[in-house]
């Protein structure tokens, strides 16, 4: 028996086009969404992504209040913006969890397998509000596509958070910080409003009207980082549309860049693998702990499962490599030694922290990572790296690391980072611009001593006067009012009861030397009366100027030439200070001057020549 089946007709070509166009243009309306039907956080993030997709890019293009249209819908742009500003203002904190850990049982493993890129989920908590189990209240989480999604079980919480955020005095600063953070993404081709993820569209709307004044000021001076958080960005290469980056989120913290620089004056010690403590050498107190590789510890557990061995390496950086915990209630003891570099046979911060973090980043990013990478894309790296290698730490190739005097470190201006580098004499040529920080070579490879004339941003420079203080001692010696005490390595003002002006003193560990201005010499170098006294001796000052202007010519590696250059920099800086910054009013004249046998030894291989004015001694 034959069975006749109905013939299935293929839809006409025009019908196929209509169906395709409907599928491309159709989006569910807010009133049709039923959040209670979706049990997982990934569904909540999908709904937030849909809500953010309703945003318009024109100025002020916010969507209609979808929670008013659909009271059951917890995901809304307003709450997204509250979480964004809440994290930036420090009102909310984030916590990264591994869904494949036993704590989260089979359900967590299922979620981790469902979306491999979301295995490490970042939860958002309000530390000022207690949750139902005594922990900080869980208010949402992060997702690569929408950045933030909201918890559906706390409908009354958002009005409280809105009150805190809307009345926050630093809200404009937070928006300016976010604008700088966005600028870093734009510079690195990781930003595209047309083809990028919806979180970039939402951030664009949130920052509507926020002007970018300086692309690195707040990000380097007044920002700490939280994270990292895995986010979608437009692919920077040709293949595909999107890629994932582990980015750090900015948190407004006034002066954090400068406070972090203080930590580099503490001795780094690795007492247990993976954790470096920064300790006060005077009290042996631990001021900060830096975890070099939290992700590696988590990865070790995950790598016990052969199937997850690759994932553990891939997500090592995302899991929180390079976190820093600072005891903010403890005053940092400012020592003389700068512990960034290795010295005296002891590893410094760069060896114990920077190098391992760069290595971890290289494994996670699947490519070699250098200092230049950190400077170019600082939001990919934690504070422990980007505040050392980032834009505020950029120096010219000629500059070297320096250790600072007690005077500079103990009187640091609030909110302004201490200098880290200075120009060595071999990098300075006669008649070139005078440096603000002069690096004096140390003994036997010890760190260079830094003489600081001024430092800090150009709009608020911090005047110190150490270089002109050395120039003042050369000037007083030129007048016959100073003498060298070779037994103690000092220059003293014999005309004023033997007051100590300048000298080489031992560092606390007894290894290196730090050329240092004594308080009396620094006070004289800042007194208007001493400045006026030098101007009154105009003819003598002219001979002093011409004497030092002619010094420092020759081979860069010659110790005699280096000593002359150090003296020339100090003397010319002093003359500029005396003349109010314009030494052209004082044409060099004369050269009736005499070199004396005495030398002021800066170290075993470098010494300053000393000159006297015969006219002044008559």
pLDDT of residue 508: 45
Pair 264, 127 in one domain: no
pLDDT of residue 505: 53
Contact 477, 486 (CB under 8 A): no
pLDDT of residue 169: 92
Indicate whether 360 belongs to any domain: yes
Pair 277, 334 in one domain: yes
Contact 450, 395 (CB under 8 A): no
Pair 450, 304 in one domain: no
Instruction: Quote the tokens at residue 244.
Output: 């994932």
Consecutive 10-residue averages of pLDDT for the chain (618 residues): 44 53 55 50 81 76 60 76 95 84 73 71 88 84 90 86 91 93 92 89 88 72 88 74 85 86 84 85 82 48 36 50 73 63 81 87 80 89 87 64 79 73 89 90 73 85 90 91 76 78 60 69 89 90 88 84 92 92 67 80 80 75
Cα separation, 439 vs 453, in Å, equals 11
Closest CA to 473 of 454, 495, 493, 457: 493
Indicate whether 186 belongs to any domain: no
Cα separation, 575 vs 534, in Å, equals 9
The domain of 283 spans 255-393
State the pTM of this model: 0.71
For β-strands 286-291 and 323-326, DSSP reports them as: antiparallel
Contact 334, 410 (CB under 8 A): yes
Instruction: Quote the tokens at residue 41.
Output: 């956080």
pLDDT of residue 228: 87
Indicate whether 10 belongs to any domain: no
Cα separation, 146 vs 354, in Å, equals 32
Q: How far apart are the first and last CA of the chain?
A: 139
Contact 250, 261 (CB under 8 A): no
- Show which of 353, 375, 393 is a domain's final residue: 393
Q: Which residues pair with 97 in a beta bridge?
A: 121
Contact 284, 290 (CB under 8 A): no
Indicate whether 303 belongs to any domain: yes
DSSP result, 38-67: --SHHHHHHHHHHHHHT---STT-PPP-HH
- Show which of 148, 166, 184 is a domain's final residue: 166
Pair 354, 414 in one domain: no
Pair 595, 498 in one domain: yes
Pair 273, 318 in one domain: yes
Instruction: Quote the tokens at residue 308.
Output: 């997850």
The structural domain count of the chain equals: 3
| 288 phi/psi in degrees, rounded to 5 | -150, 155
Indicate whether 338 belongs to any domain: yes
Pair 436, 569 in one domain: yes
Pair 99, 153 in one domain: yes
Indicate whether 204 belongs to any domain: no
Closest CA to 222 of 232, 214, 231, 211: 214
- At residue 346, the 3 state secondary structure works out as strand
Indicate whether 516 belongs to any domain: yes
- At residue 251, the 3 state secondary structure works out as strand
Largest CA distance in the chain: 139
Pair 389, 405 in one domain: no
Pair 414, 389 in one domain: no
pLDDT of residue 297: 34
Closest CA to 361 of 353, 371, 369: 369
- Show which of 166, 194, 226 is a domain's final residue: 166
Contact 245, 257 (CB under 8 A): no
Pair 470, 597 in one domain: yes
Pair 565, 509 in one domain: yes
Indicate whether 9 belongs to any domain: no
DSSP result, 81-138: HHHHHHHHTTSSEEEEEETTSGGGHHHHHHHHHHSGGGSEEEEEEEEEEE-TTSSEEE
In whole angstroms, how far apart are CA 317 and each of 113, 212, 329, 359, 559? 19, 30, 29, 10, 47
């Amino acid at each position: 028996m034959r069975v006749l089946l109905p013939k299935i007709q293929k839809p006409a070509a025009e019908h196929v086009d209509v169906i395709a166009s409907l599928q491309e243009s159709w989006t569910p309306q807010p009133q049709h969404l039923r959040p209670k039907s979706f049990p997982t956080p990934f569904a909540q993030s999908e709904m937030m992504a849909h809500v953010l997709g309703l945003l318009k890019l024109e100025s002020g293009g916010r969507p209609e209040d979808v929670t008013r249209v659909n009271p059951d819908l917890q995901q809304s742009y307003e709450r997204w913006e509250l979480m964004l500003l809440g994290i930036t203002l420090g009102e909310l904190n984030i916590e990264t969890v591994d869904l494949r850990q036993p704590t989260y049982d089979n359900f967590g493993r299922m979620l981790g397998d469902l979306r491999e890129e979301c295995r490490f989920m970042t939860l958002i908590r309000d530390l000022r509000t207690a949750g139902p189990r005594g922990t900080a209240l869980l208010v949402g989480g992060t997702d690569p596509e929408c950045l933030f999604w909201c918890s559906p079980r706390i409908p009354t919480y958002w009005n409280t958070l809105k009150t805190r955020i809307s009345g926050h005095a630093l809200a404009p600063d937070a928006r300016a910080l976010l604008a700088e953070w966005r600028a870093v993404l734009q510079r690195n081709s990781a930003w595209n409003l047309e083809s990028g993820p919806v979180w970039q569209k939402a951030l664009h709307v949130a920052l509507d009207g926020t002007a970018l004044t300086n692309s690195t000021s707040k990000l380097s001076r007044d920002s700490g980082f939280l994270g990292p958080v895995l986010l979608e960005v437009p692919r920077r290469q040709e293949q595909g549309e999107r890629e994932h980056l582990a980015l750090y989120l900015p948190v407004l913290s006034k002066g954090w860049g400068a406070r972090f620089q203080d930590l580099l004056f503490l001795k780094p010690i690795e007492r247990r693998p993976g954790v470096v403590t920064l300790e006060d050498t005077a009290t042996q107190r631990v001021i900060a702990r830096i975890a070099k590789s939290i992700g590696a510890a988590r990865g070790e557990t995950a790598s016990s499962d052969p199937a997850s061995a690759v994932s553990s390496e891939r997500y090592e950086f995302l899991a929180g490599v390079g976190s820093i915990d600072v005891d903010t209630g403890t005053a940092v003891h400012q020592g003389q030694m700068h512990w960034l570099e290795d010295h005296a046979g002891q590893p410094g911060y760069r060896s114990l922290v920077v190098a391992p973090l760069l290595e971890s980043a290289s494994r996670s990013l699947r490519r070699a990572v250098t200092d230049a990478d950190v400077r170019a894309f600082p939001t990919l790296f934690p504070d422990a790296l980007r505040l050392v290698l980032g834009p505020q730490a950029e120096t010219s190739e000629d500059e070297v690391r320096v250790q600072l005097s007690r005077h500079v470190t103990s009187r640091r201006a609030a909110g302004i980072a201490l200098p880290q580098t200075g120009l060595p004499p071999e990098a300075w040529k006669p008649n070139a611009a005078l440096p603000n920080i002069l690096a004096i070579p140390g003994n036997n490879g010890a760190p260079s001593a830094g003489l600081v004339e001024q430092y800090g941003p150009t709009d608020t420079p911090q005047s110190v006067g150490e270089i002109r203080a050395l120039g003042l001692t050369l000037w007083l010696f030129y007048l016959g009012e100073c003498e060298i005490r070779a037994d103690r390595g000092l220059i003293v003002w014999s005309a004023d009861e033997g007051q100590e002006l300048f000298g080489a003193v031992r560092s606390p560990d007894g290894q290196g030397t730090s050329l240092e201005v004594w308080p009396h010499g620094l006070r004289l170098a800042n007194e208007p009366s001493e400045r006026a006294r030098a101007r009154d001796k105009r003819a003598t000052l002219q001979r002093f100027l011409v004497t030092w202007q002619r010094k420092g010519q020759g081979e860069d590696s010659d110790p005699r030439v280096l000593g002359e250059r150090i003296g020339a920099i100090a003397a010319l800086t002093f003359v500029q200070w005396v003349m109010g910054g314009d030494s052209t009013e004082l044409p060099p004249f004369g050269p009736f001057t005499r070199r004396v046998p005495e030398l002021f030894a800066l170290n075993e291989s470098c010494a300053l020549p000393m000159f006297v004015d015969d006219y002044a001694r008559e």
